[in-house]
Structure 1
Amino acid sequence: MTSRASEIYRVLKENFERPVLPSLFKDPFQVLVITVISQNTNDLNTERAYRNLEERGLLSPEAVLKASVEELEDALRVAGLYRNKARRLKELAEVTMEEYGGDLSKLLELPLEEARRRLLELPGVGYKTADVVLLFCGRRPVIPVDTHVNRTAKRLGLASPRAGYEEVRLSLQSLYPSDPELYLDLHLLLISLGRKYCKAGRPLCDRCPLSHLCPSASSERSSFKDVGAVSRRGSAQ
């Protein structure tokens, strides 16, 4: 771990608490369910739809497979795109039952790259979802890159500004020891940073505890100075 990467992690740990993970993050199929629900909707509606499924006992692949499409659609309606999401859950449940006997945790016992490849073969599962399952459910050493992790890593100079998903993931993993608990910490802490200070539209660099370590914060301050100087010159003319 480089001294700068180490310092970033230390400051994150000092300023943000690691959130308590819901119990669903122990079950790979339930992680896939909530990922499907969350597409193109907000956190509140995602939670409502998930609770609807939970109340109906529709959180296992067996139950989803037996349920009618109409029942799934009704539970998912609050999250939008409910017809597509119901169909996707049916597809996931079918593959999980047919290929894994209803238990995706078997995947987590495979070598890491094979487990990741198998997860990516599941309907609708992309890199981030596969890595969330591997890290959260299996405690495997991968760092999922969601929108907050992507943005904060690039602004902090931990990844190239033009990097794609895999480049950001591998860059972060190269900077920190291959430790699942550290990776989980880093993932959650960068999300907290992105939500509180390093916002997509207008980052709150002047309040951010990492501003002294952030190249983007320095650029932001310089741009404000330049704007201020231009404004002062303009008002003097």
Structure 2
Amino acid sequence: MGLCEKPCYIQQLHFNKFHIAHYTLDEWRIMQSEVERANQVLNILRENLTLPKWVSSRSSDFETLVVTVISQNTADRNTARAFEKLSKKFPVTPEALSKAPTSEIEKALKVAGLYRNKARIIKKLAKIVMERFNGSLDFIHEMPFEKARKILIDLPGIGPKTADVLLLFRAKKPTIPIDTHIKRVSKRLGFAAPNADYEEIRDCLQKLYNPKDYFEVHILLIMLGRRYCKARNPKCQECPVNRLCPTGLERLKNA
């Protein structure tokens, strides 16, 4: 019995590698086999996919926050265009954007979806960072992970994914942001239950992988979803991990 047969078994076991005595031998074997399968998937992706250059992230915490807000429900190309236009109009700093007219921010973001709402959120965030955090997001580096994450999620327009992106990319904190591609891929691979929500998927993946690999896991699963494991017409025949994927094996069997 694996994750694909009993949804999110790793999550049900509340895996803690320092307390293996809490589990039966069968539970431990299941857990170990799923960890091994997950890491086989990761190693194959490392061999077949190349991390893109943009992975180096933005030059400041606030820029990363802004570009992540812009990217919500927006293609990468339009996100990059919108950020470039914004940065040509204003310095992308809390001070500059807190004073910038909302209408001018809107104009810069017009190529991105929901640009009016995003412009209001970005201006509001800039003001909050100035007023509450002395114009800096340094607290994400200094605070314990859960405390920093809660503060970020409580900010307007910042959900768990945006908070996790900032914490992983900028503060190097141990978290895996879950986007639409990772959500789909995780469920098809059997790493998460079909009805798992954001936190459940994140929890499952983080129990399967070593924290030092979270960054690569995040990027490579996104790339897998974009290139092979598409929402419609997934390319299971070409997928490098199809032999480790219950969904892929089923589709290939019925092809």
* TM-score of the superposed pair, with normalisation by structure 1: 0.88
Equivalent residue number for residue 177 of structure 1: 210
Instruction: Say if 2:251 is the partner of 1:211.
Output: no
2:132 aligned residue (95, 99, 104):
99
Q: Which of structures 1 and 2 has the larger relative contact order (alpha carbons within 8 angstroms, sep 6+)?
A: 2
Q: How many residues align?
A: 222
The answer as to 2:82 corresponding to 1:55 is no
Partner residue of 1:235? none
1:229 aligned residue: none
The amino acid of 1:198's aligned partner reads C
Whose radius of gyration is greater, 1 or 2? 1
1:24 and 1:30 in contact (8 A); partners too: no
TM-score (norm 2): 0.82
- In the alignment, which residue of structure 1 is the partner of 2:180? 147
Structure 2 unpaired stretches of 5+: 1-31
Please tell me whether the aligned partners of residues 61 and 102 of structure 1 are also in contact (alpha carbons under 8 angstroms). Answer: yes
Separation in 2 of the partners of 1:178 and 1:81? 34
Task: Name structure 1 gaps, 5 residues minimum.
Answer: 225-237
Q: CA deviation at 1:23?
A: 5.4
* 1:188 aligned residue (207, 216, 219): 219
Q: Deviations over 1:125-177 (max 9, x none)?
A: 00111000000001111011111111111111111121110000010000112
User: Aligned equivalents of 1:178 and 1:39: distance in 2?
Assistant: 25
Matched, 1:132 2:132: no
- Identity of counterpart residues, as a percentage? 49
- 1:228 maps to none
Please, what is the CA RMSD of the aligned residues? Answer: 1.6
Pairwise CA distance, 1:26: 4.5
Structure ranking higher in helix proportion: 1
Partner residue, 1:78: 111
Equivalent position SS for 2:58: helix
Deviations 1:171-226 (A, max 9, x none): 000011222xx1001110111111110001111000111001000011212333xx
The answer for the alignment partner of 2:38 in structure 1 is 5
Cα 1:154–1:80 shift into 2, 3 Å? closer
Question: Partner letter of residue 111 of structure 1?
Answer: P
Question: The residue matched to 1:187 in structure 2 has which SS?
Answer: helix
- Structure 2 distance, partners of 1:23, 1:189, is 14
Q: Distance in 2 between matches of 1:140 and 1:21?
A: 19
Match of 2:79 in 1: 46
1:155/1:22 Cα in 2 relative to 1: closer, same or farther (>3 Å)? Answer: closer
